[in-house]
């Protein structure tokens, strides 16, 4: 019997579909480009030299493998399962985003592209993209919603220091989805020389698969580290979800480990009962946007609605199509935590472990704080600590009523 029949790790199909999700919903001008990208990516996957260069850069430039850390004081405070963190916030540039950027820029250079574009919300993907462009000497244009440019001034400055041109996007709501629209418009007008480094596991095929695969270094390392440190796999994986690349990176290598449960944590903003949230899976419905069919925040006419989250990195009205499929297949559970709960999670980690997390994984911390106490003391929760919080101290100070 074919052992792959029951595998959760064989998606997408050859058309880029994860069940009814995913696909290639792009304008005809881009279609030959995404087909070409897929061909080149397949060649790169089959080339040991490509993987070797990727691995070498992750080790010596990014600082991988990231540590697997047992967090004793938060474990004690929560009084249930052992809490472990995959420390991807210790990567160069301070988040998991760089893993994917290294992979994509190597592919861009392999394809002979000479100009890089990207979209960014909180600025983490923009900084990571600007970083790899500086490292390899390629010109870089970052599209960022004008609202986010205001909210994330330190990251805008970082990108500029790294030599990127940051273009504020004023169309639509002037946030991440509008930056992505502008990235697609740039790409369609500069197809001959430009590579679009999409920052999350979304967009037209092969991006969701490709980004997941580059990010899977997180779960592959964590799985080996766990086996080496405690001799068994964790009982529960937890990760926050905006587009969902850090969660897929952690989850994917464990998907066929039937005893490992998984929990994706969306941003509930001010609460799922209103419209001020960014929980596409729990509060949205299937539709087509930015090249793929997935869960979206939308009205009854299919107009996209603006998400809200305290975290600019989770504030996107869609989600990677593989998460939509994992939800429908039942393999992964999804929950959402509010801005206030995330803020408590943020402070909890600062206080108990001496780690200032980004607001994105603070959502995952809040979920861990709910679920760990309900689990036996010999069970293990592994959470992806996917970003550090330096960028968020101004937002947190404001929410806590502190003037800096």
Binding site for other proteins (CB under 8 A): 15, 23-33, 171-172, 177-178, 180-181, 184-185, 188-189, 191-192, 287-291, 293, 296, 298, 300-305
SS3 content of the chain, % helix, strand, coil (to 5): 45, 20, 35
Least distance CB 326 / other proteins (angstroms)? 21
Token pair of 157 as six digits: 């400055």
Bridge partner residues of 238 (DSSP):
263, 383
Count of CB atoms within 10 A of residue 394's CB? Answer: 15
Token pair of 22 as six digits: 């995913």
Count of CB atoms within 10 A of residue 281's CB? Answer: 23
SS3 at position 196: strand
Q: What is the C-alpha separation between 148 and 125, in angstroms, rounded?
A: 13
Least distance CB 340 / other proteins (angstroms)? 29
Least distance CB 304 / other proteins (angstroms)? 4
Closest CB to other proteins among 144 and 162?
Answer: 144
Q: What are phi and psi of 183, to 5 degrees?
A: -60, -45
DSSP state of 61: I
Least distance CB 145 / other proteins (angstroms)? 13
Closest CB to other proteins among 199 and 291?
Answer: 291
Quick check: 77 and 169 in contact, CB under 8 A? no
Token pair of 172 as six digits: 């639509």
Closest CB to other proteins among 31 and 52?
Answer: 31
Question: Which residues neighbour 103 within 8 Å (Cβ) at sequence distance 6 or greater?
Answer: 54, 210, 213, 214
Least distance CB 1 / other proteins (angstroms)? 31
Question: Which residues neighbour 353 within 8 Å (Cβ) at sequence distance 6 or greater?
Answer: 71, 73, 74
Quick check: 65 and 221 in contact, CB under 8 A? yes
Question: Which residues neighbour 340 within 8 Å (Cβ) at sequence distance 6 or greater?
Answer: none
Quick check: 357 and 320 in contact, CB under 8 A? no
Least distance CB 331 / other proteins (angstroms)? 25
Least distance CB 316 / other proteins (angstroms)? 12
Quick check: 152 and 140 in contact, CB under 8 A? no
Closest CB to other proteins among 181 and 311?
Answer: 181
Least distance CB 153 / other proteins (angstroms)? 26
């Amino acid at each position: 019997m074919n052992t792959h029949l029951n595998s959760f790790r064989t998606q997408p199909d050859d058309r880029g579909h994860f069940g009814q999700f995913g696909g290639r919903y792009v304008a005809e001008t881009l279609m030959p480009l995404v087909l070409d990208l897929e061909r080149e990516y397949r060649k790169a996957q089959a080339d040991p030299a490509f993987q070797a260069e990727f691995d070498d850069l992750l080790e010596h430039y990014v600082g991988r493998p990231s540590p697997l850390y047992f967090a004793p004081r938060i474990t004690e405070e929560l009084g249930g399962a052992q809490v472990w963190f995959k420390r991807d916030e210790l990567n160069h540039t301070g988040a998991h985003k760089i893993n994917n950027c290294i992979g994509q820029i190597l592919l861009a250079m392999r394809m002979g592209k000479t100009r890089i574009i990207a979209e960014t919300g909180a600025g983490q993907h923009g900084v990571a993209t600007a970083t790899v462009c500086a490292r390899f000497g390629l010109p870089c244009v970052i599209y960022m919603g004008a609202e986010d440019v205001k909210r994330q001034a330190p990251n805008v400055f970082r990108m500029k220091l790294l030599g990127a041109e940051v273009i504020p996007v004023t169309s639509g709501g002037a946030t991440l989805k509008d930056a992505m629209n502008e990235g697609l418009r740039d790409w369609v007008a500069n197809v001959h020389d430009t590579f679009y480094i999409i920052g999350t596991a979304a967009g037209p095929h092969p991006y969701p698969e490709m980004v997941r695969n580059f990010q899977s270094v997180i779960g592959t390392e964590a799985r080996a580290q766990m086996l080496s440190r405690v001799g068994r796999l964790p009982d529960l994986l937890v990760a926050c979800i905006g587009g969902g690349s850090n969660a897929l990176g952690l989850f994917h290598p464990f998907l066929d480990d039937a005893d490992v449960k998984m929990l994706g944590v969306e941003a509930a903003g001010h609460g799922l009962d209103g419209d001020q949230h960014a929980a596409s899976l729990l509060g949205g419905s299937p539709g087509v946007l930015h090249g793929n069919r997935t869960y979206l925040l939308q009205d009854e006419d299919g107009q996209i609605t603006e998400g809200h989250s305290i975290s600019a990195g989770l504030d996107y009205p869609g989600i990677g199509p593989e998460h939509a499929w994992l939800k429908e297949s039942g393999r992964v559970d999804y929950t959402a935590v509010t801005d206030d709960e995330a803020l408590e999670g943020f402070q909890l980690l600062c206080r108990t472990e001496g780690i200032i997390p980004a607001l994105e994984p603070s959502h995952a911390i809040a979920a861990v704080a709910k679920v760990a106490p309900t689990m036996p003391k010999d069970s293990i929760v592994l959470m992806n600590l996917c970003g550090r919080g330096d960028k968020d101290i101004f937002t947190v100070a404001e929410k806590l009523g502190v003037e800096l």
